């Protein structure tokens, strides 16, 4: 399918509040309270949210992108509903995996991670994800992390071990385990007090004091920083807490990631942040369910770990992949198959055909709000716990009814909310009135009546068409 787009609805700027809005009242499931609740900015002005970003030690896979695309849809629905947003997403460029693989590759950590960070950005752009407003990296925020550890030690929530590592004492935080619902059996604080987890990732049955500062080890190579506890590097969980404090403060609106981040990563972030600086931390927790391939966890060994590049190489477009990723509600298990890509191709083609000749208003224009005509219901589905599957159902269900200006505005608002850019439709049918106008323009030109010819050209442009003159005659195409 050609990547040439008819309706460019890319928009990388964020909407200012003050527009009429599309009556956006986004309601979303909160992992902590297990309830669907309305989203309101705590400062009454802009919705400030944080997404845990990629670990840049290789290309992100389509599972990662399910999470990033869902977060992008949330932002778009908020903005198109007239809400201003502030979106912060970090880059994890120092952890066990980035160090391990950069050392193995014989490259510096920064050189190694920069390559994968750039690849991530490239993929995000292909998938039409809006750029976060701030994208801080862990390596650039080591001093902030050291300050946070010092505060935790001072307040009695952390302690240094003999080897110069520093651990968070989970028994010092009464709410530890609430977010991920660790039951009391798993959370035997008396037992775990002396057990420690030094690796960045571990399972629920290994609940333990977790590492905030890792003492320097031989295998870290040259990747270490000076600290009050000696040379070493921050543990993975800490970076987000430090960067959130810096860019969003003690209390912010929403925190997000894939479901695997609930424990231990988000549980640990919550503990560190609350114990070091108080505040409410995240007022809402937004997690998306993992993507499976052919019904199973993605695995390199079974050839089911796909990157966007793998699929593009097989002839699929990034938009087709995006369509699949938004095809199921974010709380439902998503099963990625080749059939789903075929279906996406067909669906996008159908939408492109239906919208041929219509011109899409820009993202900012759509964010001013207004009547969405027959597609108002589709936007409501998005407001209702980001039900992308139901919104697509409404979009197709009302396609034949679309006729008024409001209807088309509604249509393009839904596409913009889903971040879909339509392909060039195959075999465009040019409506009779457009053919008539183009003919009148051509006749005016033959008669050298430039004024009339310009008038017809403008009229065509208003209707979303342009005339291309050639030696043999003229051609009329959607603008
Ligand atoms: P990572 O690059 O591993 O730090 O992960 C980046 C994001 O992708 C995190 O929010 C993860 O929770 C998420 N993620 C990882 N695997 C999957 C998957 N199979 N499906 C959906 N999201 C995932
Ligand atoms: Zn994080």
What is the residue extent of each domain of the chain?
26-288, 317-418, 432-478
Our answer on whether the CB atom of 257 is closer than 6 Å to any ligand 1 atom is yes
CB of 52 sitting under 6 A from ligand 1: yes
Banded model confidence at residue 476, pLDDT cuts 50, 70, 90 = confident
Q: Which atom of ligand 1 is nearest to the CA of 56?
A: 2
Query: 31 alpha carbon to ligand 2 midpoint, in Å?
Result: 15
Ligand 1 atom 12: the closest Cα is on which residue?
258
Nearest CA to ligand 1 atom 8: 64
Q: Could you give the CA distance from residue 177 to residue 456 in angstroms, rounded to a whole number? A: 68
Q: Ligand 2 center to residue 79 CA distance, Å? A: 24
For the chain, how many residues are written?
Answer: 479
Residue 334 Cα: closest atom of ligand 1: 20
Q: Which of the following CATH numbers is that of domain 26-288: 3.30.470.20, 3.40.50.620, 3.30.1950.10, 3.40.50.2000?
A: 3.40.50.620
In angstroms, what is the span from residue 86 Cα to ligand 2's centroid? Answer: 17
Atom number, ligand 1, closest to the C-alpha of residue 60: 2
| Residue range 317-418, CATH number | 1.20.120
Q: Considering only CA atoms, which residue is closest to atom 18 of ligand 1? A: 63
| C-beta of 145 in contact with ligand 1 (< 6 A) | no
Q: Is 290 in the pocket of ligand 1 (CB under 6 A)?
A: yes
Taken in order 51, 55, 59, 60, the sign of the CA dihedral is negative
Ligand 1 atom with minimal separation from the 289 CA = 21
CB 55 less than 6 A from any atom of ligand 1: yes
Measured distance CA(331)–CA(112) in Å, rounded: 34
pLDDT category at 477 given cuts 50, 70, 90 is: confident
**Cβ–Cβ under 8 Å, residues 307 and 328:** no
Residue 222 DSSP class? T
pLDDT digits over 304-356, tens only? 899 999 999 999 999 999 999 999 999 999 999 999 999 999 999 999 999 98
59 ligand 1 Cβ < 6 A: no
* Selection from 14-28, 197-211, 396-410, 456-470 with the highest mean pLDDT: 396-410
Instruction: Name the residue with the closest Cα to ligand 1, atom 15.
Output: 64
Pocket perturbation via mutation, ligand 1, pick of 49, 50, 57, 63 by most ligand atoms within 8 A of CB: 63
- Of the ranges 198-202, 221-225, 259-263, which one carries the lowest mean pLDDT score? 198-202
Task: State residue 307 phi and psi, 5-degree precision.
Answer: -100, 170
Atom number of ligand 1 nearest to Cα 67: 22
pLDDT, tens digit (0-9, with 9 covering 90-100), for 152-205: 999 999 999 998 999 999 999 999 999 999 865 455 554 444 567 777 777 666
- Which of 403, 281, 420 has the alpha carbon at shortest distance from 347? 420
Q: How far does residue 285's CA lie from ligand 2's centre (Å)? A: 12
Q: Which structure tokens are listed for 168?
A: 């968070």
Give residue-wise pLDDT tens across range 355-391. Answer: 988 989 999 999 999 999 999 999 999 999 999 999 9
Backbone angles phi, psi at 99, to 5 degrees: -70, -50
């Amino acid at each position: 399918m050609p990547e040439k787009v008819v309706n460019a609805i890319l928009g990388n700027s964020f909407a200012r509040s003050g527009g009429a809005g599309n009556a956006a009242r986004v309601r979303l499931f909160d992992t902590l309270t297990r309830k669907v609740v309305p989203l309101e900015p705590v400062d009454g002005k802009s919705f400030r949210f944080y997404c845990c970003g990629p670990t840049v030690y290789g290309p992100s896979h389509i599972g990662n992108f399910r999470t990033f695309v869902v977060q992008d849809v949330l932002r778009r629905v908020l903005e198109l509903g007239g809400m201003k947003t502030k979106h912060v997403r970090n880059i994890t460029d120092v952890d066990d995996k980035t160090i391990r693989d950069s050392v193995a590759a014989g490259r510096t950590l920064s050189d190694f991670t920069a390559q994968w960070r750039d690849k991530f950005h490239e993929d995000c752009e292909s998938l039409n994800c809006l750029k976060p407003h701030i994208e801080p990296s862990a390596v650039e925020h080591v001093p902030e992390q050291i300050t946070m550890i010092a505060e935790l030690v001072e307040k009695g929530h952390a302690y240094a071990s003999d080897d110069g590592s520093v651990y968070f004492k989970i028994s010092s935080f009464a709410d530890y385990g609430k977010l991920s619902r660790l039951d009391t059996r798993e959370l035997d604080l008396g037992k775990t007090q002396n057990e420690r987890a030094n690796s960045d990732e571990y399972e629920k049955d290994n609940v333990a004091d977790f590492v905030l500062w890792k003492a320097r080890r031989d295998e870290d190579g040259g990747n270490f920083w000076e600290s009050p506890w000696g040379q070493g590097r921050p543990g993975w969980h800490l970076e987000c807490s430090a960067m959130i404090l810096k860019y969003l403060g003690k209390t912010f609106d929403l925190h997000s990631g894939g479901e695997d981040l609930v424990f231990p990563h988000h549980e640990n972030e919550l503990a560190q942040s609350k114990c070091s600086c108080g505040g409410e931390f995240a007022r809402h927790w937004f997690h998306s369910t993992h993507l499976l391939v052919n019904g199973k966890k993605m695995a390199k060994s079974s050839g089911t770990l796909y990157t966007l590049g793998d699929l593009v190489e097989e002839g699929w477009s990034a938009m087709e992949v995006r369509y699949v990723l938004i095809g199921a509600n974010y709380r439902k298990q998503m099963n990625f198959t080749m059939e789903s890509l075929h279906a996406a191709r067909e669906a996008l083609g159908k939408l492109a055909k239906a919208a041929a000749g219509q011109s899409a208003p820009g993202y900012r224009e759509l964010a001013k709000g207004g009547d969405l005509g027959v597609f108002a219901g589709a936007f409501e589905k998005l407001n209702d716990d980001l039900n992308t599957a139901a919104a697509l159902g409404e979009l197709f269900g009302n396609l034949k009814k679309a006729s008024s200006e409001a209807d088309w505005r509604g249509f393009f608002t839904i596409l913009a909310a889903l971040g879909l850019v339509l392909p060039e439709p195959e075999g465009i049918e040019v409506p009779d009135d457009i053919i008539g106008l183009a003919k009148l323009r051509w006749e005016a030109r033959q008669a050298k009546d430039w004024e009339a010819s310009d008038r017809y050209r403008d009229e065509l442009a208003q209707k979303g068409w342009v005339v291309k003159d050639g030696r043999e005659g003229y051609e009329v195409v959607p603008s």
